[in-house]
Amino acid sequence: MSAVMSTITIAPPPAKPAGPPLQKETTAGNYFVANYPPFAFWKTEAVPEFLSALDRPPEPGTPLGLYTHIPFCRKRCHFCYFRVYTDKNADDIRGYLDALLRDLSTYAAKPVIGGRKPRFIYFGGGTPSYLSPDQLKFLTDGMKRLLPWDEAEEVTFEAEPGTLTDHKLRAIRELGVTRLSLGIEHFDDHILEVNGRAHRSKEIERAYGYAREIGFPQINIDLIAGMVEETEEKWQETVAKAVALQPDSVTIYQMEVPYNTGIYREMKAAGRLVAPVADWDTKRRWVNYAYSEFERRGYTVTSATTVVRDPASVKFRYRDGLFSGADILSIGVASFGHLNGVHYQNHHDFAPYVEAVNAGQWPVHRALTPTAEERYLREFMLQLKLGSVHPSRFIEKFGIAPQVQFAVPLASLQSQGFLTAGEDRIGLTREGLLQVDRLLYEFFRPEHRTGRYA
């Protein structure tokens, strides 16, 4: 393999791709690349292709992951663009949980599942920790009967600190959760308030402390750089408090203003397209500051958004599976998955999802079967967000080296100082890593570079 690789070089680009310009101000839009082709290109007409794929056995050796969307929240954050609800009562919630289990049971009976057991499980939201211990036990007991968890290497559970009593935390741990992800976002109460967060700093301290006490194997905390009214001083204070907690991993996002958020509605009403948040240069600098502070304490940057305390023991199986082409069985309103080579997403709204499941119908709203080239693009771009890729793995899977498949965009990024390339490693520089989502558009096919990403 090395002899073959040594003959591969990155040729100079004949013409620079029409990628997005280096943007300064934070304007409306969602730039975070989570899949490919973009969701806007998934179509209702392709749903029959997805249903047909369910009747085929899986590709040998493909791991299975399970994603469950819990769409309930105490409040809707001003920057949130996910499908969440703050107005559902106990009967609505029980009906939704029943629908999740009914949906999962239908999948479990299809050949694509065929007795497979999930290797990783993820509860996302919304706020999974909004559910009571009894509701959580009802849901997870039913899930385990349909798809046993005894071979799961990771069970991730998102939580909002203000929903976590000691009793609930212990119940979550007893469910088998191995990775607790706390949506802290910031430690300053004023920043939390003006951005619409439901929790406050005292709730963070109490929830984190007890989660540590009862022994979750991995605790991740989320932060957001550049929230409304963020300042240099407040960001440095938040980073210092995050460092002091000594979490197993930290995920840091850069503030965006997607179109379906409260912030965007305020911007539109005011007739301004510029969001009241820090510009991109500032956000990248703040994230880099946070990474440097954690690196000083022995942490390692393992992706564009993540630092971990011990890379040898701290993993994120769901992300790694999603990025490398695993099957993702996804249940719940608006959730998206990937089975037998076909992308799919469920109905966007609560009632249509529940009603479809209860009527014995598939609740799938849109789908897309990516071409072989698009599958290659998807895996390469997503894995590049980890900071580097190994070409030999892509040669083995797709039959051609990335240096050949993506010669033009790779040469362009290398000439701009965002990327380095060796015999079996293509890596982003720190500057490239901090803006990787913008740079990935260089790889997009021309027809996918227009329109909204989501």
Domain ranges of the chain: 2-37+371-448, 42-322
Q: Does 452 score more than 70 pLDDT? A: no
**Over the stretch 161-176, which tens digit does the pLDDT of each residue have?**
999 999 999 999 999 9
Find tokens 């946070």 and name the residue: 290
Tokens, residue 121: 């499980």
pLDDT score for 23: 59
pLDDT score for 81: 75
**Over the chain, what is the mean pLDDT?**
91
Q: What is the DSSP letter of 29?
A: B
69 pairs with which residues across the strands? 124
Average pLDDT over residues 205-233: 96
**Over the stretch 340-395, which tens digit does the pLDDT of each residue have?**
999 999 999 999 999 999 999 999 999 999 999 999 999 999 999 999 999 999 99
pLDDT score for 360: 97
Q: Which of 196, 309, 197, 172 is nearest to 242 (CA)?
A: 309
Q: Which of 115, 240, 219 is nearest to 164 (CA)?
A: 219
DSSP E strands, 200-322: 218-225, 249-254, 300-301, 306-308
CATH of domain 42-322: 3.80.30.20
339 pairs with which residues across the strands? 342
Q: Does 15 score more than 60 pLDDT? A: no
222 pairs with which residues across the strands? 251
Q: Does 5 score more than 70 pLDDT? A: no
**Exposure string (b/e) for 56-72, b if CB count within 10 Å is 16 or more?**
eebeeebbbbbbbbbbb
Tell me: domain 2-37+371-448, CATH 1.10.10.920, correct? Answer: yes
Strands 327-331 and 306-308, bridge-based pairing:
unpaired
Tokens, residue 31: 């730039």
More confident site: 25 or 301: 301
Instruction: Count the Cβ atoms, other than its own, within 10 Å of residue 81.
Output: 18
Q: Does 11 score more than 50 pLDDT? A: no
Q: What is the DSSP letter of 423?
A: S
CA dihedral 359, 454, 82, 256 (to 10 degrees): 180
**Over the stretch 88-139, which tens digit does the pLDDT of each residue have?**
999 999 999 999 999 999 999 999 999 999 999 999 999 999 999 999 999 9
Q: Are 159 and 179 in contact (CB under 8 A)?
A: no
pTM: 0.92
* Residue 311 Cα distances to 28, 243, 249, 287, 354, angstroms: 35, 17, 9, 19, 40
